[in-house]
Amino acid sequence: MKIPQALCTVPEDFVTDFYMISSYQQEEELYYMEQKKNLVTLGSTGITVEKNSFGALPIQRISKEAAIGLLRKAYAAGVTFYDTARYYTDSEEKVGAAFEGMRDKIYIATKTGATTAEGFWKELHTSLEKLKTDYIDIYQFHNPAFCPKPGDGTGLYEAMLEAKEKGMIRHIGITNHRLNVAHEAIESGLYETLQFPFCYLATDKDLELVQDCKKAGMGFIAMKALSGGLINNSRAAYAYLAQFDNVLPIWGVQRERELDEFLSYVGNPPEMTDEIRAVIDKDREELLGEFCRGCGYCMPCPVGIEINNCARMSLMIRRAPSAAWLTPDAQEKMKKIEQCLHCNQCKGKCPYNLDTPALLEKNLKDYQEILDGKEY
């Protein structure tokens, strides 16, 4: 059938409107694509959040009022994921105070270091009370020396399952610093998230871990994204981690200027450039090898050495220059290294298999030379 010519003619204003709508739709699609680039979904949990998340360990070092101010400022800027732990002294209490009455607007991940089922329930109830909530989004075993499983004799995983069935927790996670435990957790199929140190100083084995999590449908939460303060270029740190669509970095924040720095990336995320690659290459050349990450799992020391700071003093002085490293108080702490018993307890506890006593001696020697006038 032949269509009349009049019906084949499209009004000019219709064409204009069509292209305007099409252009708008394209812009809208591009906008949502860009937004999606800045989001990450934690595996099978379905939790989807902005790639800026808040690590609440450092807020235990500041006042409650200051902590609440930081947490609420982060939320106002679009940060909705907050990671804390029962062992972070009053961190949970501060998070609870900041978000009381707005529980459905945020995700909370916390951790238990319990080694028995009885201890598990005690810590869970305490966390719920401190956080002022009746459920936790992700409840994580905090750096256990083994991978808790059903039937292992501890009752820990059974308690975790029961807590989930009761609605007290929504997802089961594990944090660790040991590659063997992390791989076992992935292979077990028992965990929905893994929290592990990950930054641009990552080794091939660390990268393999990230990919294995993705294949297993597990969320990967990156702790120590600034390597405990040794990485001093947050743009480079952010751009590197942004390359991994299954990785959620948690940035430990203690000061407002630190928070402002990361919040500035929410609408304008740094991308990998030749300049940033050069920064990363230089840092990898300088830092890869045997260095202390400051995790503190070697503590406490029998003679009171502040191992997690003293064993990396040489790097901190050079990478985060501050007069505080050379004060009489700091000097006294470094001098304590001379009292080392060489009991090797710290060496045995180190998840990175460092020769900690030797590292302490090396840092003390360098520190004394700096005090004597050596340039750094």
H helix runs in the chain, sequence order: 5-8, 12-37, 64-76, 91-98, 117-131, 156-165, 179-188, 204-216, 234-241, 256-263, 274-287, 307-310, 313-319, 328-335, 345-349, 356-371
Burial class of residue 333, CB neighbours in 10 A (0-12, 13-18, 19+): middle
- Tokens standing for residue 330: 């700091």
Q: Is 359 helix (H, G, I), strand (E, B) or coil?
A: helix
Contact 221, 248 (CB under 8 A): yes
DSSP 8-state assignment for residue 87? T
CA-to-CA distance for 256 and 253, rounded, in angstroms? 8
Q: What is the DSSP string of 30-69?
A: HHHHHHHHTEEE-BTT--EEES-EEE-SGGGGS-HHHHHH
Q: What is the DSSP string of 199-232?
A: STT--HHHHHHHHHHHHHTBEEEEE-TTGGGT--
CA-to-CA distance for 181 and 185, rounded, in angstroms? 6
- Tokens standing for residue 309: 């700071």
Rg (CA), the chain: 25
Dihedral in degrees, nearest 10, Cα atoms 72, 233, 210, 263 = 20
Catalytic residues: 88
DSSP 8-state assignment for residue 136? E
Q: Which region holds residue 305: left if phi is over 0, alpha if psi is between -120 and 50, else beta?
A: beta
